[in-house]
A and B are shown apart, each in its own frame.
Chain A
Amino acid sequence: MTDLLQLLLSGVSTGACYALAALGFTLLWQASGTINFALGEMVMLPAFMMLFFLNVASLPLAVAFLLTLVASLLVLGGMFKLLVVDPLIRHGVIPLVIATLGLSIGFKNLTRVAYSAQVFTFPSIFPDRLIDIFGLRVTVAEIGTAVLACGVALGVQFFLNRTLTGRAMQAVAQNRDAARVLGINANRMVMYAFLVNAALAALTALLVTPVYLAKFDMGDTLGTKAFYAAIIGGFNNSRGALLGGVLVGVLENLVGAYISPSYKEGVALLLFLLVIVFMPQGLLGKPEERRV
């Protein structure tokens, strides 16, 4: 029984990290119709940036994170939108899918060759301590990650639903022309979505790397899990990303422990296939209408 509870808790903690990345993904989709296949690498790059600041420049973790946050806002937010997405978005989905897949291969191998192909440990922001809750032994990191990630996800939700800027972003997502008529600067709102996505990616890197360890291909699994989480929960609903992420994290842990560890990676895929065949709008999403 305690085994099961422990598996559940660590599943929630990894799942919450998937959810953070998934949230950035749904935001980009809602705001601009961008499918970002380089999502995993957008978590991997900040992780390596932080490593660089920590190990080579020997800065404290907080400073390293802030510098990385700024760099990722500039490169993964602003430059990504201006140089890659803006010229391609009017050509439809496929060119953008291919370009972001190319970006993911490029980032991954750039890191491998320019930095290192080795695995690096990464300091956790939480103290390395075990606590005992009714006989259940859990690490502070597990609880801290879950709480922080869920908090940020709910915070983003709050920002989108309760602030003026957030509501303007939603308006642009729903109907760009109508939003323009109301005096909303649509392009700026889309840029905000890219910036929020970049910030979420840097934060995910901070939370996930101590567990996953930093390696040039760490984005592969993380990226696909986040996509699946986003779709399982419902692509057009930010709360869906949280539900999808946690569901994937928990089920993966259970399958890995009780069925077969070598097919653990297939769990998210199976769940995803079931969802798109039986409820294409996702567990919490609203169905998208087809326009003739």
Chain B
Amino acid sequence: MTGLGKSLRWPVLILAIIALAVLPTSLKSYGVYILTLWAVYVIAGMGLNLTVGYAGQISLGQAAFLGIGAYTAGLMAKLGFSYLLIVPASASICFLVGLGLGFPALRVQHHYLAFATLGFNMLCFLVFRNEEWLTGGTFGMNDIARPVLFGWHFSRAADFYQLTFGITVVLAVLMALLLRSPWGRAFAALRDNPIRAESVGISTTFYTLMAFAIGAAYAGVAGALFAPLVGFIEPASFTVTNSLAMLLMVIVGGQGRFFGPALGAVIVVLLPEWLRFAADWYLAVFGFMIVVMMVWMPGGLLSLADRWKRP
């Protein structure tokens, strides 16, 4: 990046955040809904970017964590817990489950890990669907209320968006700090050369588990926001296809790039809107588009900029 580009980076970033924070006042409620959904996916995508892009693992189970977060939030809201408790609870449950999913990753890599996480997602789907006493089974869970914090009601779409966006910014700052700390370097070492990392004294076991657990915790927060946003959760929202969409989000944005998920989430959230003309053909077009996109730019959208600079 050039010197001018670097000095402009902060003002541009702050302007973008302010613009995104006040944007909903000029949008209709459906637009606000889409924008909120984008913010939710950005949170889950940031987590997955840590696991996949920075630590170099592969995960096809992020939708399962979104689901665990959403069901936890839904159940706790029904039991009358405060939202101040719900978000940390969703995050910590996902953190623990993510820690568990990290264990296979200690033994195997690449395709094995892809299948292990994919299988984990399928297993979670089975639990969401079969354990009707807990999750409502295929009927799902209805009427999940929007949160109330310190007497403030976030029931209007724009208010809930601002809450979601605020949480997104806070989590993004935390992620940036984490990546700049020695932990961030350890994750990169794990990705680039695990054997070398181990030989210079980085505990690959610890950081592999953490990469999964923190990535999962982000998805847990996203789930805790997803449930009150949609108001109705059902197992079909948390399938392997959704995990693929999230992985796609990270890859299309450019894995291991901080703003990758923010860009990738735009595409994943807006694609169904753009492809509305295709009606029934939507998923078929979506599938083949993924193939074309991968063949054309395996490094993601942000890699196109690099290609431009170095022709």
Contact = CB atoms under 8 A, between A and B. Distances in A.
A262 B126 CA distance: 8
B28 to A, nearest CB: 30
B298 A105 contact: no
Interface in A67-112: 83-84, 87-88, 91, 93-99, 101-110, 112
B interface, over-half SS: helix
A263 interface: yes
B284 interface: yes
Nearest to B289: A102
B273 to A, nearest CB: 18
B287 A105 contact: yes
Nearest to B251: A98
Interface string A24-35: 000001000001
B112 interface: yes
B58 A113 contact: no
Contacts, number: 129
A93 B255 CA distance: 13
Nearest to B286: A105
Interface string B225-249: 0000000000000000100100110
A8 interface: no
Interface stretch (B2-10, B30-38, B117-125): B117-125
Contacts of B58: 93-94, 97
Which of A97, A107, A273, A280 gathers the greatest number of chain B CB atoms within 10 Å?
Answer: A97
Interface string B280-293: 11111111111101
B156 interface: no
A87 B291 CA distance: 11
A102 B103 contact: no
B195 to A, nearest CB: 5
Contacts of B108: 276, 280
A213 B58 CA distance: 33
B298 A103 contact: no
B114 A35 contact: yes
A57 interface: no
A106 B284 contact: yes
Interface string B70-89: 00000000000000000000
Nearest to A102: B290
A102 B288 contact: yes
Nearest to A99: B294
Given A88-B294, A93-B58, A102-B294, A109 B287 contact: yes
Contacts of B294: 88, 95-96, 98-99, 102
A272 interface: yes
Interface in A234-292: 262-263, 265-266, 269, 272-273, 276-277, 280, 290, 292
Q: In the complex, which range does the number of interface residues on chain B fall in?
A: 35 or more
Contacts of A228: 115, 119
Contacts of A141: none
A91 B287 contact: no
Interface in A182-236: 224, 227-228, 231
Interface residues of A, number: 44
B4 to A, nearest CB: 32
B251 A95 contact: yes
A262 B130 contact: yes
Contacts of A105: 241, 244, 283-284, 286-287, 290
Contacts of B288: 102-103, 106
Interface in A12-69: 29, 35, 37
A159 B283 CA distance: 39
B287 A269 contact: no
A98 B290 contact: yes
B15 interface: no
Contacts of B248: 98
A262 B130 CA distance: 7
A280 B107 contact: yes
Contacts of B255: 94
B284 A231 contact: no
Given A102-B289, A109-B284, A110-B284, A224 B118 contact: yes
27 contacts: A37-B114, A93-B58, A93-B110, A95-B251, A95-B294, A98-B248, A98-B251, A99-B291, A99-B295, A102-B286, A103-B287, A106-B286, A106-B288, A107-B287, A109-B284, A113-B281, A228-B115, A262-B126, A263-B126, A263-B130, A265-B126, A272-B119, A273-B116, A273-B119, A276-B116, A280-B112, A292-B196
Given A103-B288, A269-B119, A269-B123, 14 more contacts: A35-B110, A88-B294, A97-B58, A98-B251, A102-B244, A102-B293, A102-B294, A106-B283, A106-B288, A108-B283, A109-B286, A276-B104, A276-B112, A280-B112
Interface of A: 29, 35, 37, 83-84, 87-88, 91, 93-99, 101-110, 112-114, 224, 227-228, 231, 262-263, 265-266, 269, 272-273, 276-277, 280, 290, 292
| 4 A-B pairs with the lowest CB-CB distances in the bound complex, closest first | A106-B287, A102-B290, A105-B287, A109-B283
